[in-house]
């Protein structure tokens, strides 16, 4: 009886120890609000992956840049301080320049052409080149098309930005975009953007309706130009080191949960940007909104098309060739 009891104790101890050894804790860092499309999708992923893994995977979420901004998080991830993040493409361009493709103004006509790029050879090239830098791209997420806000004047045409200071996310192409119009680009973190606008350190910025709304930027900006000039997307990433440290079964669970979460995020991004714009119009008493009509949009497109070669010089021929096939 004693021997049998001892055997059961040893067996239970081994089982508990084995379970503890296989439990994975993922610290997921991002810079936006929990109520934003990305924030909601991260929570959705957390609940899904924990359920699918029967608790073997635990996800801890750190929103609003409480741990790292989108620039420093990649190195933190590579050093296993956090295990997942969803930085903007512009931040990943410091490692893989081809992510700047999505920063080229007026390149993509709609969200569906962007999704074709994600799911086709362009997405595969970006994933492959990221792995060479120790980064594993697990999914591509949307935020949406960007618009321009500032505190100085109505922006009707690109040259209206001349002399103004604009916050950028730091890619070469985004800096070109503003400097070509005579503006002064400054790379600043997203987490303290509102205070920089409020204090007058910078005059304006570009962002999606959802980010403008959830960060309450309309409270410290006087003008909004509905320009839809550029795109803001995110890559859900981990490190190759962390990814290779977990077994195939858990990898498949994470990928399956991310695939479902990605479709959810796409839907959220569209709905949330539409709703956010309506809320901005409702709540922003002192914000002047300017809509670019078809005639002036053609002038914006023509202005930036003159510099198309300057933009595409940053992008590899491999990616540009695939772009022609979209």
Transcribe 218-247 into DSSP letters: GGS-SEEEE---SEEEEEEEEEHHHHHHS-
Query: Please, which pLDDT band fits residue 190 given cuts at 50, 70 and 90?
Result: confident
Task: Give me the mean pLDDT over the 176-195 stretch.
Answer: 94
Residue 17 pLDDT: 38
Task: Give me the mean pLDDT over the 224-243 stretch.
Answer: 97
Question: Out of 13-17, 157-161, 211-215, which region has the weakest mean confidence (pLDDT)?
Answer: 13-17
**What's the fold here for domain 2-324?**
D-Maltodextrin-Binding Protein; domain 2 (3.40.190)
CB 276 within 8 A of CB 215: no
Residue 19 pLDDT: 41
| Selected residue with higher pLDDT from 158 and 15 | 158
- Domain spans in the chain, listed from the N-terminal domain onward: 2-324
Angle of CA points 313, 205, 35, to nearest 5°:
110
User: Residue 85 pLDDT > 80, yes or no?
Assistant: yes
- pLDDT tens digits, 274-284: 999 999 999 99
Residue 130 pLDDT: 98
User: Residue 69 pLDDT > 70, yes or no?
Assistant: yes
User: Residue 13 pLDDT > 50, yes or no?
Assistant: no
Q: Two tokens at 80?
A: 């296993």
Task: Give me the mean pLDDT over the 59-84 stretch.
Answer: 94
C-alpha distances in angstroms, 228 versus 106, 125, 168, 173? 8, 26, 16, 16
DSSP state of 144: E
């Amino acid at each position: 009886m004693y021997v049998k009891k001892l055997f059961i104790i040893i067996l239970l101890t081994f089982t508990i120890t084995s379970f503890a050894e296989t439990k994975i804790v993922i610290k997921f860092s991002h810079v936006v609000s929990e109520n934003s499309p990305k924030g909601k999708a991260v929570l959705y992923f957390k609940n899904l992956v924990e359920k699918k893994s029967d608790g073997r995977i635990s996800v801890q979420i750190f929103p609003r840049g409480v741990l790292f901004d989108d620039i420093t998080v990649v190195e933190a991830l590579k050093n296993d301080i956090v295990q997942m993040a969803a930085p903007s493409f512009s931040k990943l361009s410091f490692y893989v320049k081809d992510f700047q493709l999505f920063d080229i103004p007026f390149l993509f006509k709609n969200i569906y052409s962007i999704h074709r790029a994600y799911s086709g050879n362009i997405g595969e090239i970006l994933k492959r080149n990221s792995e060479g830098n120790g980064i594993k791209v697990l999914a591509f997420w949307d935020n949406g098309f960007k618009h321009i806000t500032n505190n100085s004047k109505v922006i009707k045409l690109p040259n209206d930005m001349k002399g103004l200071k604009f916050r950028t996310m730091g890619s070469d192409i985004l800096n070109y975009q503003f400097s070509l119009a005579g503006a002064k680009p400054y790379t600043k973190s997203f987490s303290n953007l509102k205070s920089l606008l409020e204090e007058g350190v910078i005059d304006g910025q570009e962002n999606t309706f959802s980010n403008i709304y959830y960060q309450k930027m309309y409270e410290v900006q006087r003008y909004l130009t509905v320009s839809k000039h550029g795109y803001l997307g995110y890559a859900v990433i981990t490190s190759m080191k962390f990814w290779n440290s977990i077994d195939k079964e858990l990898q498949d669970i994470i990928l399956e949960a991310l695939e479902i979460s990605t479709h959810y995020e796409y839907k959220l991004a569209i709905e949330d940007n539409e709703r956010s714009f309506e809320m901005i119009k409702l709540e922003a008493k002192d914000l002047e909104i300017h809509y670019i009509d078809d005639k002036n949009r053609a002038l914006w497109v023509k202005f930036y098309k003159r510099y198309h070669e300057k933009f595409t010089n940053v992008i590899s021929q491999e990616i540009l060739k695939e772009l022609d096939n979209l």
